[in-house]
């Protein structure tokens, strides 16, 4: 028996492991919405705006490693997905983007809401295509998903409205063919020799390390190396591990960084590169395009598991420098003591350092933390001490407003974990309508707003450049009142003596909750 393209799509996506789709309804996708509404194998999350849908899909993909799926109609619906798609493209996150298109007879005509979607999506996807024949639907979606998974990239398929409704005979849905493990490029033996001849090693570990963190842990212990988690990998090791010497960025540069005689970048975040001294640098990463050329590093790319297995084996007789190990431990102790002391700062408005220090006490172990873009994130980088936490941040695209929908998508994918969203008031305003999505689906995220009524990062950068700050004021509502209007529990905190109690209440609340913290302007030292 024949079924429609829309019906077959739902079955195929579920067969390939898709459990959730995020999107907004619209004219060109109504046949697919009808198919989604008549089944219960895939859950559809109706977001407040399409941008929220693409960021939610990206949030799910970031915590699961599997493709997230977002859906929008033709014209402005497709256009509104772009920020989340661009974020996934720049950070190497697998997505499947499905958009409706005008009927096939109206393509390239002066039709309402028509534009060439392939030209729009081409620069920010690994693949974009237009489905023009019903019988091609399975193969087209299969190719897009295989490309998304194999290359860790977003892939886009636009489908005309009449194609969704067209009948098609499909006898079986084939499995996906996922490419094998990449080979190694570069001389591992040269890397082993350089590491073996160093006596003060330091590792900067980025997001690509997360799936293989045990191997990096083994290497760090074997060499007695100091470790700095990259911004995209803040939670890979415990904050109590005595080789952690602090975050790296505008708010903090660990003194030990400039004492190392060998710096090993493993899947390192691009954010840290400008702070790394031009000393002996070695880089291990997944792709050659990630190599930081201005360091002229000794580099190995490809299969990071194989590379680290070979390096660990080659360094099994590495002579640890006891003095360096002691210095690393001292740096760790000094850093932790500094962060813990900041929980008691009396500043009012509240210092962001106080908020981060108390977050260390109140964020549950194993919680997922999503970070928006803004100056507050530098204080988080500097002072957060993870306890088996997963930390999500946009490394390359840096779109304000991503933090909340990231957190919602992560919460959908990991319902058993607490998800904490950290955001500035400016970023929150950009997607705050998605608090309605949190309330609608009872997603128990904890949203903490670092509220100083300013775009402080831009203000401080203008000041540093000798400019007069302009356009940096943020007109913000009372977010605790707004939360209540959305059906979400809201708190407002102005007294530093209340922050610990309020955050503890928020973390234990069984539903979406918002905490608006009025904070002071603590300018990061190196901004």
The pLDDT of residue 249 is: 87
18-40: pLDDT as tens digits:
999 999 999 999 999 999 999 99
> What per-residue string of b and e applies to 125-164 under the rule 16 or more CB within 10 Å gives b?
bbbbbbbeebeebbebbbbbbbbbbbebbbbbbbbbbbbb
Which residues are within 8 A (CB) of 318 and not within 5 positions of it... i.e. 6 or more apart? Answer: 195, 196, 222, 223
Which residues are within 8 A (CB) of 386 and not within 5 positions of it... i.e. 6 or more apart? Answer: 229, 234, 235, 236, 237, 238, 239
Q: Identify the burial level of 310 via C-beta atoms within 10 angstroms of its C-beta, where 0-12 means exposed, 13-18 middle and 19 or more buried.
A: middle
Q: Identify the burial level of 331 via C-beta atoms within 10 angstroms of its C-beta, where 0-12 means exposed, 13-18 middle and 19 or more buried.
A: buried
* Residue 512: both structure tokens together: 């979406």
Q: Which residues of the chain fall short of a pLDDT of 50?
A: none
Distances 212 to 116, 209, 243 between C-alpha atoms, Å:
41, 5, 18
Q: What is the DSSP string of 107-162?
A: TTSS-TT---HHHHHGGG-SEEEE---GGGHHHHHHHHHHHHHHHT-EEEEEEEHH
How many residues are listed for the chain in this entry? 527
- Widest pairwise Cα distance in the chain: 75
92-110: pLDDT as tens digits:
999 999 999 999 999 999 9
How many CA atoms, within 13 angstroms, populate the side-chain half-sphere of residue 78?
27
The H or E element that residue 339 is part of is helix 322-341
User: What domains can be seen in the chain, in order of their start residue?
Assistant: 3-168 (3.40.50.970), 188-333 (3.40.50.1220), 345-518 (3.40.50.970)
Q: Where are the extended beta strands (E) located within 335-456?
A: 368-371, 390-393, 419-424, 446-451
């Amino acid at each position: 028996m024949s079924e429609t393209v829309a019906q077959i799509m739902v079955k195929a996506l579920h067969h390939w492991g898709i459990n959730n789709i995020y999107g907004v309804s619209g004219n060109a996708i109504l046949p697919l919405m009808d198919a989604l509404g008549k089944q219960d194998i895939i859950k559809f999350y109706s977001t407040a705006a399409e941008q929220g849908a693409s960021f939610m899909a990206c949030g799910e993909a970031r915590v699961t490693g599997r493709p997230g799926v977002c859906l929008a109609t033709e014209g402005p619906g497709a256009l509104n997905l772009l920020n989340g798609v661009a974020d996934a493209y720049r950070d190497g996150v697998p997505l499947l983007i499905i958009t409706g298109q005008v009927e096939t007879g109206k393509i390239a005509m002066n039709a309402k809401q028509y534009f060439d979607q392939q030209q729009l999506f081409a620069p920010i996807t690994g693949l974009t295509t237009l489905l023009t024949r019903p019988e091609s639907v399975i193969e087209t979606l299969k190719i897009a998903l295989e490309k998304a998974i194999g290359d860790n990239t977003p892939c886009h398929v636009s489908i005309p409205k009449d194609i969704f409704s067209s009948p098609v005979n499909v006898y079986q849905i084939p499995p996906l063919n996922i490419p094998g493990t990449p080979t190694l490029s570069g001389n591992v033996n040269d890397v082993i020799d350089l590491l073996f001849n160093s006596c003060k090693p330091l590792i900067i570990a980025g997001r690509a390390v997360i799936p293989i963190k045990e191997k990096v842990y083994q290497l760090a212990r074997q060499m007695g190396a100091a470790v700095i988690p990259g911004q995209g990998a803040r939670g890979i090791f415990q904050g109590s591990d005595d080789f952690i010497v602090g975050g790296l960025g505008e708010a903090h540069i660990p003194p030990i960084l400039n004492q190392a005689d060998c710096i090993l970048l493993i899947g390192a975040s691009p954010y840290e590169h400008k702070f790394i001294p031009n000393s002996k640098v070695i880089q291990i990463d997944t792709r050659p395009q990630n190599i930081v050329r201005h360091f002229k590093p000794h580099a190995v790319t490809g299969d990071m598991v194989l590379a680290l297995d070979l390096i660990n084996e080659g360094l099994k007789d590495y002579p640890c420098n006891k003095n360096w190990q002691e210095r690393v431990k001292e740096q760790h102790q000094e850093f932790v003591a500094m962060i813990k002391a900041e929980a008691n700062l009396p500043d009012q408005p509240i210092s962001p350092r106080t908020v981060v220090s108390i977050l260390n006490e109140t964020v549950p172990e194993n919680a997922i933390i999503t970070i928006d873009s803004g100056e507050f994130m530098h204080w988080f980088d500097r002072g957060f001490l993870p306890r088996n936490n997963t930390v999500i941040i946009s490394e390359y695209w840096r779109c304000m407003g991503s933090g909340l929908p990231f957190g919602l998508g992560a919460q959908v994918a990991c319902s058993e974990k607490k998800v904490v969203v950290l955001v500035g008031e400016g970023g929150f305003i950009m997607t705050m309508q998605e608090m309605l999505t949190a309330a609608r689906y009872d997603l128990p995220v904890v949203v903490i707003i670092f509220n100083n009524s300013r775009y402080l990062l831009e203000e401080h950068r203008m000041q540093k450049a000798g400019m007069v700050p302009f356009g940096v004021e943020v007109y913000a509502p009372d977010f605790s009142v707004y939360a209540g209007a959305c059906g979400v529990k809201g708190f407002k905190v102005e007294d530093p003596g209340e922050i610990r109690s309020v955050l503890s209440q928020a973390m234990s609340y069984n539903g979406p909750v918002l905490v608006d913290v009025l904070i002071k302007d603590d300018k990061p030292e190196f901004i």
